[in-house]
Structure 1
Amino acid sequence: YFEQEMMVDGLNAIHSYLWMAGSKGNISPLHRQVMIGRTIVITEDPELHLVWNRGTIFIKPLPPFLVTEEFWRILLDSNGSSHESLRHLANGFLKSYSRLIVYRSDFKIAKDLGLIPYENLGFEDWFNFLHHRRIYSCPPDSVNMRYRYGELRLYRLNWIYRLFKFQHVYMSLDTSYDQYFSRWWPFILFVVAWVSIALTAFQVLLAARPEN
């Protein structure tokens, strides 16, 4: 259950190409997301957490177990690669939230949107919890690979999947054929232009050849 709430295998599969879709550590606080006109949309899919598309950014609410001492006690008392992987996922997810919630205004936005699970959790409690878990000073090798990057652009993720994974898309959010085909127009126009130039060059070469 814990891993299903945080697994990002789809993004880890293209980790070496994520630089094409976003920058390392690039996560704007919630108040800035609002300031630049982005619509914050709740998603329960961890693969969409901090993915943005057309003025919309998807954010997964903080799983309630992440802020419980019992969960962290289980992780710290357990050994094995599976628990280490889970620790890295938890560290990475909390690291992303430490960037999203920086000021009291961010915390209020998170509360209003239902991103924070507990009503009685205050800003100071949140701040102290992150310090207690040493999230602010968490080194890169103790977080999941995905969370070494911040916000990721969906359009570019889809192209990475097409070019390097030979799959149709990473994630499709199109609701109509018009939206679907509009995504392909730049590529189609590029191919048509390239073929047109190649044919023209070929015709010029043929015309320039001396007749026997």
Structure 2
Amino acid sequence: MVLLSSANIDYHLPFIVRKSDGSIIHPRKEFDAFAQHQLDVSRLDRIAEHLWMVGRVGNVHPLHRQHVLGRQVILTEQADLHLLWIDKTIFIKPLPAWLLDEAIWKQHIRISPRLQACANGFLRTYAYLVAYECDFAIATRLNLIPEGFTWPSWLNLVQDRLLPLCLDRNPLSFAPRYTYGELRLSRINILYRLLPKLKLKHFFRGYYYGSQAYQGFLERNFAWLVAGFAYLALVLTAMQVGLATKQLENNTAFNAASYGFTIFAILVPLFAVAVVAALSLLLMIYHVRATLKHLHETTVAIKP
């Protein structure tokens, strides 16, 4: 399994890594913290009992199949975005060279059952992603696997290291997230907004906050309103035509239904606009408060 020697492993590590909370990790000095950060899937493990609604057990398509499905592969260094997909996009974390170094496994990974479970699950996904020689060509072109591999050397790695993980049936060997393969990101966002045990901030941000402006957020989450309004207009037009016919002109039930639906069609758009406006206001308040909080924490941190 050894790919790198300890002498040159530093060249495959970044100088600094910034975490989501703004803190900085120096991988070459704080490797344990770096490895924990790079393999962390705790956000998905937190909702592991609900993941059956967003993916299937062990479902990982090879890279060539991702192309057949019309998906664009987006590289990410976040392990908790690895194999999450939305629309025609799937996120894949490149296989880091340091994760294939035997010395690192002995000194850092095997001493932590949690970290080893995350590493095992992540490595196992690559046995499925790069299953054929054409997958290897795609992975090489996308820089998903470290430099220096050939197809025969990759097969040796799969046989010696990855295949035993595929045959391992002990659930404790893997982080709960890796019981499942590809996960639908849109449904994970819904879970993060609706599950009561999560924090209020998740209601606003969901799991993955891809929108960088209110317009994009509203377009993504309220596009269905346009279709709803179009349907209302279609039904009102049909009712108007129906009232003009002799068969329905004096029909009491149809007249009552037309009256009720007309009132409904007037009130629903007003209610929808009010909801969108209220949500936009809440989002603005939330982001202003979050910005002020971050500014305060940053100011306190840099004070002597």
TM-score normalised over the length of structure 2: 0.57
Which of the pair has the greater relative contact order for Cα pairs under 8 Å at 6+ separation? 1
Structure 1 residue 47: Cα displacement: 1.4
Structure 1 residue 24: Cα displacement: 1.0
Structure 1 residue 188: Cα displacement: 7.0
Q: In structure 2, what is the equivalent of residue 149 of structure 1?
A: 180
Q: Which deviates further from its counterpart, 171-180 or 33-42?
A: 171-180
Structure 1 residue 42: Cα displacement: 0.6
Q: In structure 2, what is the equivalent of residue 128 of structure 1?
A: 156
State whether residues 44 and 60 of structure 1, in contact with CA within 8 Å, keep that contact through their aligned partners in structure 2.
yes
CA distance in structure 2 between the aligned counterparts of 1:155 and 1:181, rounded to whole angstroms: 15
Q: In structure 2, what is the equivalent of residue 53 of structure 1?
A: 86
> Is 2:101 the counterpart of 1:68?
yes
Structure 1 residue 178: Cα displacement: 3.2
| Structure 1 stretches of 4+ moved >3 Å | 75-78, 186-189
> Measured at CA, do residues 53 and 76 of structure 1 come closer, stay the same or move farther in structure 2, by a change above 3 Å?
closer
Cα deviation, 1:17-39, whole Å, max 9, x if unaligned, reads: 11111111111100010111110
> Is 2:219 the counterpart of 1:182?
yes
Structure 1 residue 53: Cα displacement: 1.1
CA distance in structure 2 between the aligned counterparts of 1:182 and 1:61, rounded to whole angstroms: 31
CA distance in structure 2 between the aligned counterparts of 1:38 and 1:175, rounded to whole angstroms: 22
Q: In structure 1, what is the equivalent of residue 143 of structure 2?
A: 114
Identical-residue share of aligned pairs (%): 39
**1:1-212 correspondence to structure 2 within 5 Å:** 1-74=34-107, 78=111, 83-117=112-146, 119-133=147-161, 134-139=164-169, 140-164=171-195, 165=198, 166=200, 167=202, 168=204, 169-185=206-222
State whether residues 85 and 182 of structure 2, in contact with CA within 8 Å, keep that contact through their aligned partners in structure 1.
yes
State whether residues 109 and 115 of structure 2, in contact with CA within 8 Å, keep that contact through their aligned partners in structure 1.
no
SS state at 1:126 partner: helix
State whether residues 45 and 60 of structure 1, in contact with CA within 8 Å, keep that contact through their aligned partners in structure 2.
yes
Q: Which deviates further from its counterpart, 48-57 or 68-77?
A: 68-77
CA distance in structure 2 between the aligned counterparts of 1:27 and 1:76, rounded to whole angstroms: 24
- Select the structure of larger CA radius of gyration: 2
* Unaligned runs of at least 5 residues, structure 1: 193-199, 201-212
CA distance in structure 1 between the aligned counterparts of 2:158 and 2:149, rounded to whole angstroms: 13
Structure 1 residue 172: Cα displacement: 1.3
Q: In structure 1, what is the equivalent of residue 287 of structure 2?
A: none
SS state at 1:115 partner: coil
* Cα RMSD for the two superposed structures: 2.6
> Measured at CA, do residues 112 and 179 of structure 1 come closer, stay the same or move farther in structure 2, by a change above 3 Å?
same
Q: Which deviates further from its counterpart, 145-154 or 164-173?
A: 164-173
Cα deviation, 1:103-130, whole Å, max 9, x if unaligned, reads: 011011011101111x222222222223
* Unaligned runs of at least 5 residues, structure 2: 1-33, 230-259, 261-304
Q: In structure 2, what is the equivalent of residue 209 of structure 1?
A: none
TM-score normalised over the length of structure 1: 0.80
> Measured at CA, do residues 13 and 76 of structure 1 come closer, stay the same or move farther in structure 2, by a change above 3 Å?
closer
> Measured at CA, do residues 176 and 104 of structure 1 come closer, stay the same or move farther in structure 2, by a change above 3 Å?
same
Cα deviation, 1:169-196, whole Å, max 9, x if unaligned, reads: 001112443331133327879xx9xxxx
